[in-house]
């Protein structure tokens, strides 16, 4: 058709159309149309034609893909339009599964490395996004030799989006190399550089996948190399980075053990309870519950309570509410003795707080706590406490006191 818009529509739907045809029409008609669309002078048509390569290669099988699709992909990997090269970067891994490992290593790995070094940042981003699949397919030794050097270069790329893409995949590919020595020598320097990146999304992408590499490098390398960077990021100026660190702490605690964790990272768990961002404070409160599940009631009583409970009288009511949130969260995992002798009395004191928000918040928390408390204590202590709060001056406090009292019946 003379109109590019029509040709674009044809190119866009070519793969889906081919899936409905018998093989004789696929080779005779569709591949002829595919060749014509690939030679179109409009790059918007060519890139949509490239988008059909994946589905067409699966229909043609290994030999058909090698003879008819692979040459087209190789040609378009150096197309003058970066959008076409971008589409090749998006599609190239799909061919690997069809043509097999031998042809991939010979033909597609060099092509893929060139895409990683493309002049256009968008192409490098798209290629980097396929690194995990590519490395997994060709294996650790070849990836270490051919692909990882290009990824190392991209970790210092001028484009923050390229570095963010590398930060996403570098953690995922670490297990492919198989041993701590290789990871320490080749991958860990990339990780440490990206953890110090000025762009928050780069740091965030690394932190979100730290578990992939921490399970490989061992406790000594973890403490020597990664922990200093993690501690620094715990006070990162971007709250999403701090949140990612909080979510990683329970896994880190299991790897470090209780004594190393207390010495290095324990104070941060308490410090976050006074963060300026409410999402961080809430996550920190429930993070203590997850740590309590791993370390046990003794850890809560000996390490957490001495540092936390004095903050329940914090001058700012929002921080007092956070401490109450943490107390209620841990109450469900500590022993019944600690619950009734330590936590419950601290919560009961809050009925005299001068801020209504604190008083009704403790009523809300108490409702969730009642099923974990001995019924005799509920009758003798909690019910009278809630009954008194039903006479509170604030209508919200009265409402939540009645609601909690209903749960106690």
pLDDT tens-digit readout, 231-282: 888 888 899 999 988 988 888 888 778 877 777 788 888 889 999 999 999 9
User: What's the rounded Cα separation, in Å, for the pair 361 and 12?
Assistant: 56
Q: Is the predicted pLDDT of residue 185 greater than 90, yes or no?
A: no
pLDDT band for position 215 (cuts 50, 70, 90): low
User: What's the rounded Cα separation, in Å, for the pair 175 and 255?
Assistant: 17
Domains and CATH numbers, the chain: 1-128 (1.25.10.10), 139-232 (1.25.10.10), 234-334 (1.25.10.10), 338-409 (1.25.10)
- More confident call, 298 vs 385: 385
pLDDT band for position 313 (cuts 50, 70, 90): confident
Residue of 105, 72, 102, 99 whose CA lies nearest to 87: 72
Mean pLDDT of 141-151: 90
Q: Which of 25-34, 65-74, 261-270, 387-396 has the lowest mean pLDDT?
A: 25-34
Output the DSSP codes for 57-101.
HHHHHHHHIIIIIHHHHHHHTT-SSHHHHHHHHHHHHHHHHHH-H
Q: Is the predicted pLDDT of residue 113 greater than 90, yes or no?
A: yes
Q: Spell 327-348 as b/e; 16+ CB within 10 A means b.
A: bbbbbebbeeebbbebbbebbe
Burial of 123 (0-12, 13-18, 19+ CB in 10 A): buried
Indicate the Cα dihedral angle 228, 231, 237, 242, nearest 10°. Answer: 130
User: What is the average pLDDT score of the chain?
Assistant: 86
Q: What is the pLDDT of residue 62?
A: 84
pLDDT band for position 139 (cuts 50, 70, 90): confident
pLDDT band for position 219 (cuts 50, 70, 90): low
Q: Is the predicted pLDDT of residue 159 greater than 80, yes or no?
A: yes
User: What's the rounded Cα separation, in Å, for the pair 92 and 86?
Assistant: 10
- More confident call, 354 vs 408: 354
- Rounded percentage of the chain residues whose pLDDT exceeds 70: 97
- More confident call, 60 vs 359: 359
- What letter does residue 42 receive in the DSSP assignment? -
User: What's the rounded Cα separation, in Å, for the pair 7 and 263?
Assistant: 66
Asked if 149 and 111 touch (Cβ cutoff 8 Å), the reply is no
Q: Is the predicted pLDDT of residue 114 greater than 90, yes or no?
A: yes
CB neighbourhood size of 406 (10 A): 10
Give the count of alpha carbons within 13 A of 329, CB side only: 21
Q: Is the predicted pLDDT of residue 283 greater than 90, yes or no?
A: yes
Non-local (6+) Cβ contacts of 49 within 8 A are 11, 14, 34, 37, 38, 40
Q: Which of 18-32, 47-61, 108-122, 223-237 has the lowest mean pLDDT?
A: 18-32
Q: Is the predicted pLDDT of residue 127 greater than 90, yes or no?
A: yes
pLDDT band for position 218 (cuts 50, 70, 90): low
Output the DSSP codes for 132-199.
HHHHHHH-HHHIIIIIHHHHHHHTT-S-HHHHHHHHHHHHHHGGGG-SHHHIIIIIHHHHHHHHT-SS
**Which two tokens mark 45?**
């048509």
Mean pLDDT of 133-138: 89
User: What's the rounded Cα separation, in Å, for the pair 272 and 245?
Assistant: 11
Model's pTM, two decimal places? 0.76
Q: Is the predicted pLDDT of residue 368 greater than 80, yes or no?
A: yes
Q: What is the pLDDT of residue 195?
A: 87
Residue of 165, 112, 170 whose CA lies nearest to 138: 112
- More confident call, 160 vs 2: 160
pLDDT band for position 373 (cuts 50, 70, 90): confident
User: What's the rounded Cα separation, in Å, for the pair 402 and 398?
Assistant: 6
């Amino acid at each position: 058709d003379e109109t590019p818009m029509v040709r674009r529509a044809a190119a866009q739907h070519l793969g889906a159309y081919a899936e409905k045809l018998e093989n004789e029409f696929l080779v005779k008609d569709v591949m002829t149309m595919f060749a014509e669309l690939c030679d179109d002078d409009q790059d918007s048509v060519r890139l949509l034609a490239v988008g059909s390569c994946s589905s067409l290669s699966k229909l043609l099988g290994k030999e058909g893909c090698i003879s008819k699709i692979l040459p087209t992909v190789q040609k378009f990997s150096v197309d003058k339009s970066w959008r076409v090269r971008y589409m090749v970067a998006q599609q190239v891994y799909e061919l690997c599964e069809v043509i097999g490992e031998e042809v991939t290593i010979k033909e597609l790995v060099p092509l893929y490395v060139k895409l990683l070094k493309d002049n256009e940042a968008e192409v490098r981003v798209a290629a980097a996004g396929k690194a995990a699949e590519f490395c997994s397919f060709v294996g650790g030794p070849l990836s270490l030799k051919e692909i990882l050097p290009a990824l190392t270069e991209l970790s210092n790329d001028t484009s923050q989006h390229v570095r963010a893409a590398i930060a996403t995949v570098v953690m995922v590919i670490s297990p492919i190399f198989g041993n701590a020595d290789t990871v320490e020598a080749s991958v860990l320097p990339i990780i440490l550089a990206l953890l110090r990146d000025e762009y928050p999304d780069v740091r965030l992408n690394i932190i979100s996948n730290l578990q992939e590499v921490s399970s490989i490098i061992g406790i000594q390398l973890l403490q020597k190399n990664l922990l200093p960077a993690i501690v620094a990021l715990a006070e990162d100026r971007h709250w999403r980075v701090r949140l990612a660190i909080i979510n990683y702490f329970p896994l880190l605690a299991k790897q470090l053990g209780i004594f190393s964790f207390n010495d290095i990272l324990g104070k941060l768990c308490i410090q976050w309870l006074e963060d300026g961002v409410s999402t961080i404070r809430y996550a920190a409160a429930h993070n203590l519950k997850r740590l309590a599940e791993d370390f046990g009631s003794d850890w809560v009583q000996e390490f957490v309570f001495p540092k936390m409970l004095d903050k329940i009288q914090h001058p700012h009511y929002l921080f007092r509410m956070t401490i109450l949130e943490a107390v209620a969260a841990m109450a469900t995992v500590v022993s019944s003795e600690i619950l009734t002798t330590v936590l419950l009395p601290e919560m009961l004191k809050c009925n005299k707080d001068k801020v209504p928000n604190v008083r009704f918040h403790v009523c809300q928390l108490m409702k969730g706590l009642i099923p974990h408390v001995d019924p005799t204590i509920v009758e003798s202590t909690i019910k009278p406490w809630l009954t008194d709060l039903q006479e509170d001056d604030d209508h919200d406090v009265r409402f939540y006191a009645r609601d909690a009292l209903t749960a106690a019946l």
